[in-house]
Amino acid sequence: MNFISKLPDVGTTIFTIMSQMAEDYKAINLSQGYPDYDPPLELKERLNWHVNNGHNQYAPLAGIAALRQQCAFKIKEYYDRDVNWDTEVTITPGATEAIYCAITAIVQPGDEVIMFDPVYDCYDPAVRLSGGVPIHLKLCSPEYSIDWRQVESAISSKTKVIIVNFPHNPTGSIMSDDDMMQLEEIAVKYDLVVISDEVYEHFVFDGKKHKSVLSSPKLAARSFAVFSFGKSFHATGWKTGYVVASALLTKELRAVHQFVTFVAFTPVQFALADYMASNPEHLQSLPSFYEKKRDIFCSALKESRFIIKPSKGTFFQLADYSRIADVPDKVYAEYLTQEVGVAAIPISVFFDDPDSESSRVVRFCFCKEDDTLASAAKLLCAL
Ligand code: PMP
Ligand code: GLN
């Protein structure tokens, strides 16, 4: 057959590879980011109820009204922004689909899209599939923050979009007020569309608050803000997320979304709408829930030879193993999984040029039962 692969270089995602390896070697899986506990019981019961009571056909294209209304309430409460639930909120089958549709809706062939390494894996391929050119800048160590002067010098007449992701996977860094101001200034000055991946919005620790682009009127007008129920309700397998964007941008997003998946899974939407309405405290409990898990894991690793990096948000923890081994991170992650019994993610895979990343750092995921974290830490402390 005569065809040219559109993504000849991407292979299988590291998350799939490491989870499979964890299963093959019966390792504790701290690699791919998903909880080893269930969504809240009441939420599962609502899902059952809706499946058994006739909510099994296509939802409206933008998502059911009750869930979009709940999202709009939440955005008002957390980010003090009035959004029109009908014209500005779209329910999607996960944040990944939302990001794909936002990129596909906006990026024209030749457009440049700025993103920051280490970068979550789904942005670059989506940009290239639209004929766009990913421009990879690096977050600055040790804080993994954005160098805004570098951003400004990377902007050309072809720059169309900037993609930001805070709280940041894999480093756990968060945005400051100053970052938000700089983003606003640059986006307005150069007329950029912002795609803001905020799937870890509720996992910000140490008394800090998540900064959403939706809190800034100027950014809200030119952004797709992307969220994931999978993260916030311990249900990554339910693959349901949403996008908040101006009516103008939403119209473009939905034009693509209707031909990618058309709609998101119906009964989950009803279940989430019910649960959000009757359990507003759930989201409020998340920062302390995950901060406690981070602290349990990190304090259990105190006696180890890993150097623990600060994790200000997300459910990920970076650990520097340079005092233990001097091998590339992929080799070390495989060793941890196969020989030690704890699966981790090498972070070089989050770089455009993985060979340029020579630091000795792996990512552990701490959205796990406390016992799981303790067992993993025990094995890691023996190294
Ligand atoms: N963005 C980031 C930064 C993520 O870590 C994830 C994790 N899965 C996603 C997007 C995708 O979320 P979803 O599972 O809702 O597609
Ligand atoms: N976002 C998850 C992580 O970073 C994985 C999701 C996926 O496997 N695509 O671990």
Residues 262, 287 within the same domain? no
Q: Is 197 in the pocket of ligand 1 (CB under 6 A)?
A: yes
Residue 39 lies in a domain: no
Assess whether the C-beta atom of 94 lies below 6 angstroms from ligand 1: yes
Cβ of 228 closer than 6 Å to ligand 1, yes or no, is: yes
Q: Are residues 160 and 300 in the same domain?
A: no
- Check if the beta carbon of residue 127 is closer than 8 Å to that of residue 103: yes
Residue 44 domain-assigned (yes or no): no
Same domain, 157 and 70: yes
- The number of beta carbons lying within 10 Å of the beta carbon of residue 341 is 17
In a domain, 62, yes or no: yes
Residue 254 lies in a domain: yes
Question: Are 229 and 244 in a shared domain?
Answer: yes
Residue 6 is assigned to a structural domain of this protein:
no
* Alpha carbon 183 to its chain's center: 19
Of 212, 162, 205, 210, give the one whose Cα is nearest residue 316: 205
Query: Do the domain assignments include residue 265?
Result: yes
**List of residues 6+ apart from 364 with CB closer than 8 A:** 30, 297, 316, 317, 318, 319, 342, 344, 345, 376
Q: Which of 218, 248, 278 is the last residue of a domain?
A: 278
> Ligand 2: residues within 6 Å at CB?
13, 15, 32-33, 169
Query: DSSP 3-state assignment of 28?
Result: strand
Kindly state if the Cβ of 241 falls inside 6 Å of ligand 1.
Answer: yes
Amino acid present at 28: I
- Ligand 1 neighbour 120 (Cβ under 6 A): yes
CA 316 from centre of chain:
11
The answer for residues whose C-beta is within 8 angstroms of residue 169's C-beta and 6 or more apart is 33, 120, 199, 200, 314, 316
Q: Output the residue whose Cα is nearest ligand 2's atom 7.
A: 15
Residue nearest to atom 14 of ligand 1 (CA): 94
Q: Any residues with CB less than 8 A from the CB of 247 and at least 6 apart, and which? A: 84, 87, 88
pTM: 0.98
The last residue of one of the domains, among 278, 296, 315, is: 278
CATH code at 23? 3.90.1150.10
Residue of 217, 203, 120 lying closest to 165 (CA atoms): 120
Domain that holds residue 356: 14-32+283-381
Domain assignment present for residue 46? The answer is no
Return the SS3 of 362: strand
Residue 141: what pLDDT? 86
Assigned domain for 43 exists? no
Q: 98 C-alpha to center of ligand 1: Å? A: 10
Pick the last residue of a domain from 246, 278, 310.
278
Q: Sort strands 361-365 and 316-320 into parallel, antiparallel or unpaired.
A: antiparallel
| Residue 125, both tokens | 């391929």
341 and 260 in one domain? Answer: no
Alpha-carbon distance of 359 to 320, in angstroms, equals 8
DSSP state of 238: G
Interatomic CA distance for residues 363 and 170, integer angstroms: 7
Question: How far apart, in whole angstroms, are the C-alpha atoms of residue 55 and residue 255?
Answer: 25
293 and 334, same domain (yes or no): yes
Ligand nearest to the CA of 33: 2
DSSP strands (E only) in 266-360: 307-308, 316-320, 342-343, 345-346
CA angle 258, 259, 262 (to 5 degrees): 40
Q: Which atom of ligand 2 is nearest to the CA of 19?
A: 8
Whether residue 80 sits in one domain with residue 228: yes
Query: What pLDDT score was predicted for residue 355?
Result: 82
Domain CATH number, residue 142: 3.40.640.10
- Alpha-carbon gap, residue 265 to 92, rounded angstroms: 9
Q: State the distance from the centre of ligand 1 to the C-alpha of 53, rounded, in angstroms.
A: 30
Indicate which ligand has the atom closest to the C-alpha of 364.
Answer: 2
Q: How far apart are CA 329 and CA 344, in angstroms?
A: 10
Same domain, 305 and 261: no
Do 253 and 287 share a domain, yes or no?
no
Output phi, psi for 68, to 5 deg: -65, -35
Provide the residue-wise pLDDT of the chain in tens; the chain has 383 residues. 999 999 999 999 999 999 999 999 999 999 999 999 999 999 999 999 999 999 999 999 999 999 999 999 999 999 999 999 999 999 999 999 999 999 999 999 999 999 999 999 999 999 999 999 999 999 998 899 999 999 999 999 999 999 999 999 999 999 999 999 999 999 999 999 999 999 999 999 999 999 999 999 999 999 999 999 999 999 999 999 999 999 999 999 999 999 999 999 999 999 999 999 999 999 999 999 999 999 999 999 999 999 999 999 999 999 999 999 999 999 999 999 999 999 999 999 999 988 888 889 999 999 999 999 999 999 999 99
- In terms of domains, do 300 and 152 share one? no
**Number of structural domains found in the chain:** 2
- From atom 9 of ligand 2, which residue's Cα is the shortest distance away? 15
Measured in Å, residue 228 CA sits from the centre of ligand 1 at 7
Do 102 and 245 share a domain, yes or no?
yes
CA of 319 to the centre of ligand 1 (A): 21
Does residue 155 share a domain with residue 274?
A: yes
Q: Whose CA is nearest to atom 7 of ligand 1?
A: 33
Ligand 2 midpoint to CA 133 (Å): 23
- Bridge partners (DSSP) listed for residue 127: none
